[in-house]
A and B are shown apart, each in its own frame.
Chain A
């Protein structure tokens, strides 16, 4: 089983601060996805990273895929209260058959941005 470990588990910061959250594994992933889940809602895809060393930017969010494709990070610049939520990384795990893989999630980082 390919496990994804996320850190920190909880993070509480003031509005305007910068932060980085991490997603690590001992296994190589062909790609990783980052989702954000707000309270009472389902996860929503933010980005998919595919190439080792890849950097993707989504407004104030910067995603990086490690060179060895075993880890990824999410950096938020000047955090806003609207960034509050559970950030989940996910990657293909066991082969499910029919050309698809189980999507395995980490436990997530719960971010609170205080106004």
Chain B
């Protein structure tokens, strides 16, 4: 079974530039998550999708971050304009379950962003 695919693996940009990350979840997984992991910290949820609808985006900085999941499969996360503090690994995860009690999250390898 193919895992969660993310691209690009690495991206270096200057502040105020824009960047987009792509995620392809495990086939059939209804729930998709984007997490931000700053060096030395645990992952922080940015946004959660159930199929193509947003379930939770309460921690997404909406003035600069946006995400979409067209057709309930692939997802993109965009940052525009980027700030220095956005330097982090952006992890995409998917889950077969919408209900917590049965939910194992499967993570991709992450996209490492460096903002100069």
Contacts and interface: CB of A to CB of B under 8 A. Distances in A.
Contacts of A6: 42
A44 B106 CA distance: 7
Nearest to A105: B42
Interface stretch (A14-22, A61-69, A73-81, A90-98): A90-98
B56 to A, nearest CB: 4
Interface size class of B (residues with CB under 8 A): 20 to 34
B98 interface: yes
Nearest to A102: B45
A49 interface: no
B42 A98 contact: no
B56 A42 contact: no
Binding site secondary structure of chain A: strand
B99 interface: yes
B72 interface: no
Contacts of B45: 102-104
Contact of A44 (B42, B44, B107): B107
A107 B42 contact: yes
Contact of A100 (B40, B50, B107): B50
Contact of A105 (B43, B48, B104, B106): B43
A109 to B, nearest CB: 10
B25 interface: no
A100 B48 contact: yes
B105 A100 contact: no
Given A88-B42, A98-B98, A100-B100, A42 B55 contact: no
A101 B93 contact: no
Nearest to A31: B101
Given A42-B93, A42-B108, A42-B110, A99 B43 contact: no
Given A100-B31, A106-B42, A107-B40, A42 B109 contact: yes
B20 interface: no
Interface of B: 4, 31, 33, 40-45, 48, 50, 53, 55-56, 58, 91, 93, 97-101, 103-110
Interface of A: 4, 6, 30-31, 33, 40-45, 48, 50, 88, 90, 92, 94, 96-108
